[in-house]
């Protein structure tokens, strides 16, 4: 009994204490001191996904596989060469853009000119990738890193050692990005016979009957430049023709004006239009894709491959003029062999652009680049074998060239290698070709 009472009183005391825990809440304590703000971490997963998803990077990467920028082999072959890589290799392109490398020529203490448009040996490589044109990728890791493009600045022309400039201001200058690489290169005089300076193009047009190359003199002065298989302004005719700047402008019946495309359309309107077949988007190809003509709000009813006004008509016209001009140049030859090289193989980048399949090279013998050449190379290399020298000596002498012929050859190369047969800039293409033909006729050729 005594134990029972003790237990009851214990429970009573415990009950009292338990009941007191449920009493009224005391007043709130004073607020604690603010902590320091933590740095926001980058939410890697979230920002990566803005780009790394099936509709953005993944989809564009599939298109890009079909772009010659990606599958072409020139990036690899020209990497390491500081003069070639500014247009062919990613790091070199970014280097010349970032450092605003001028396209001037500088006279050295040896009395010879050198081309300043070059990268440095440490930045002369790299395949063309997304990072070539989208220079800020992976800098902030935000979805906006696709902008800005590596360059949209006016392009100082390397062919003209900086004395002419192309500036496609439409659409924020995106075309200038393309033209920075898709522009012709300078035709330079020999560093042994002359000083290596760029050919005086203005004189080709203003003094058409002056002698450019005298075949009776051959590999000696006063000749400054010897005809060879690759006597050319390289492959980027598009930039010059599209902008209507930098051809050899012989005076003539047609004036050097440009079609509307030069000021209204941009490269990406036609070359990055909605994908159709293997063209459009980041394939950068316009082959057979007419989506851009309509989308750019220029040809509201569209253009098709059978359109006589906007496609077949102008293209046949330019194709005919290319062949006529080529005929004039070939007339300088031995009467049997064309002076201009033709090539019916699928490796000819300009296959089908003319009926004759010209490629813009001269048919001068060279054991490695043109072993079937029809004309004697005026400067056989010491390294050639005796057989190669014998072959060369058995060939016809390459004809003498007046300034008009040299200028006409350059215009032929620009307009052929432009590839579009006047679609880029019909008026300028037509003026260059027609006035070249007329200038040749006036010179008695």
Question: Which 3-62 residues touch ligand HEC, going by CB under 6 A?
Answer: 44, 47-48, 50-52, 56-57, 60-61
Smallest distance, ligand HEC to C-beta of residue 41, A: 11
Tokens of 264: 């209204």
Q: Which of residues 315-354 bind ligand HEC (CB under 6 A)?
A: 349
Count Cα neighbours of 310 within 13 Å in the Cβ-side half-sphere.
14
Smallest distance, ligand HEC to C-beta of residue 238, A: 4
- Taking the CA atoms of residue 405, residue 409, residue 410 and residue 412 in that order, the dihedral angle to the nearest 10 degrees is 130
Annotate each residue in 375-414 with x if it binds ligand HEC (CB under 6 A) or - if it does not, as one string: ----------------------------------------
**Distance (Å, whole) CA 371 – CA 125:** 31
Annotate each residue in 67-106 with x if it binds ligand HEC (CB under 6 A) or - if it does not, as one string: -xx--xxxx--x--x-xx-xxx----x-------------
- Please give the size of the binding site for ligand HEC, defined by CB under 6 A: 77
Smallest distance, ligand HEC to C-beta of residue 262, A: 9
Interacting stretch for ligand HEC, rule CB under 6 A, among 22-30, 173-181, 367-375, 379-387? 173-181
**Distance (Å, whole) CA 3 – CA 19:** 24
The CA-atom distances, in angstroms, between 236 and each of 89, 178, 182, 437 are: 15, 10, 4, 22
Tokens 């032929």, residue located: 412
- The answer to whether 214 touches 222, Cβ cutoff 8 Å, is yes
- The answer to whether 241 touches 415, Cβ cutoff 8 Å, is yes
Tokens 């194709």, residue located: 319
Which one of residues 282, 338, 341, 430 is an interface residue with ligand HEC (CB under 6 A)? 282
Nearer to ligand HEC, 333 or 422 (CB): 422
Q: Which of residues 174-233 bind ligand HEC (CB under 6 A)?
A: 174-175, 177-183, 185
Smallest distance, ligand HEC to C-beta of residue 399, A: 26
Smallest distance, ligand HEC to C-beta of residue 239, A: 6
Contact status: 134 vs ligand HEC (CB under 6 A) = yes
- The answer to whether 225 touches 409, Cβ cutoff 8 Å, is no
Nearer to ligand HEC, 285 or 330 (CB): 285
In 3D space, the residue among 384, 380, 371 whose CA is nearest the CA of residue 343 turns out to be 371
Length of the chain: 445
- The answer to whether 193 touches 111, Cβ cutoff 8 Å, is no
Interacting stretch for ligand HEC, rule CB under 6 A, among 9-17, 169-177, 191-199, 362-370? 169-177
Contact status: 425 vs ligand HEC (CB under 6 A) = no
């Amino acid at each position: 009994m005594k134990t029972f009472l003790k237990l009851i009183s214990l429970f009573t005391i415990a009950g009292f204490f338990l009941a007191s825990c449920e009493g009224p809440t005391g007043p709130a304590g004073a607020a604690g001191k603010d902590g320091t703000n933590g740095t926001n971490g980058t939410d890697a997963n979230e920002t990566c996904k803005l780009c790394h998803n099936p509709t953005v990077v993944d989809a564009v990467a599939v298109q890009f596989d079909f772009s010659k920028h990606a599958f072409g082999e020139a990036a690899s072959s020209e990497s390491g060469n500081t003069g070639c890589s500014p247009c062919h290799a990613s790091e070199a392109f970014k280097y010349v853009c970032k450092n605003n490398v001028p396209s001037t020529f500088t006279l050295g203490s040896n009395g010879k000119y050198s081309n300043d448009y070059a990268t440095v040996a440490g930045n002369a490589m790299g395949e063309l990738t997304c990072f070539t044109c989208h220079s800020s990728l992976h800098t902030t890791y935000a979805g906006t890193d696709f902008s800005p493009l590596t360059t949209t600045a006016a392009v100082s022309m390397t062919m003209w050692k900086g004395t002419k400039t192309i500036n496609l201001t439409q659409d924020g200058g995106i075309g200038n990005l393309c033209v920075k690489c898709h522009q012709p290169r300078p035709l330079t005089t020999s560093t042994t016979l002359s000083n290596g300076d760029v050919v005086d193009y203005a004189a080709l047009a203003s003094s058409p009957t002056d002698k450019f190359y005298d075949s009776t003199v051959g590999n000696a002065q006063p000749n400054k430049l010897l005809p060879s298989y690759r006597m050319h302004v390289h492959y980027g005719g598009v930039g010059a023709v599209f902008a209507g700047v930098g051809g050899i402008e012989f005076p003539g019946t047609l004036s050097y004006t440009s079609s509307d495309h030069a000021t209204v359309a941009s490269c990406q309107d036609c070359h990055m239009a909605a994908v159709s077949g293997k063209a459009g988007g980041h394939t950068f190809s316009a082959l057979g894709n007419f989506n851009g003509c309509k989308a750019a709000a220029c040809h509201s009813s569209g253009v098709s491959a059978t359109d006589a006004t906007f496609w077949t008509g102008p293209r046949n016209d330019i194709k005919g003029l290319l062949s006529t001009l080529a005929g004039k140049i070939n007339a300088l030859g031995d009467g049997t062999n064309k002076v201009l090289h033709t090539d019916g193989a699928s490796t000819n980048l300009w296959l089908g652009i003319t009926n004759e399949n010209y490629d813009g090279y001269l048919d001068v013998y060279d054991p490695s680049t043109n072993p079937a050449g029809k004309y004697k190379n005026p400067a056989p290399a010491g390294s050639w074998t005796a057989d190669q020298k014998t072959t060369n000596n058995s060939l016809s002498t390459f004809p003498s060239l007046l300034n008009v012929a040299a200028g006409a050859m350059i215009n032929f190369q620009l307009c052929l290698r432009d590839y579009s047969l006047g679609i880029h800039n019909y008026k300028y293409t037509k003026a260059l070709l027609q006035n070249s033909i007329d200038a040749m006729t006036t010179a008695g050729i």
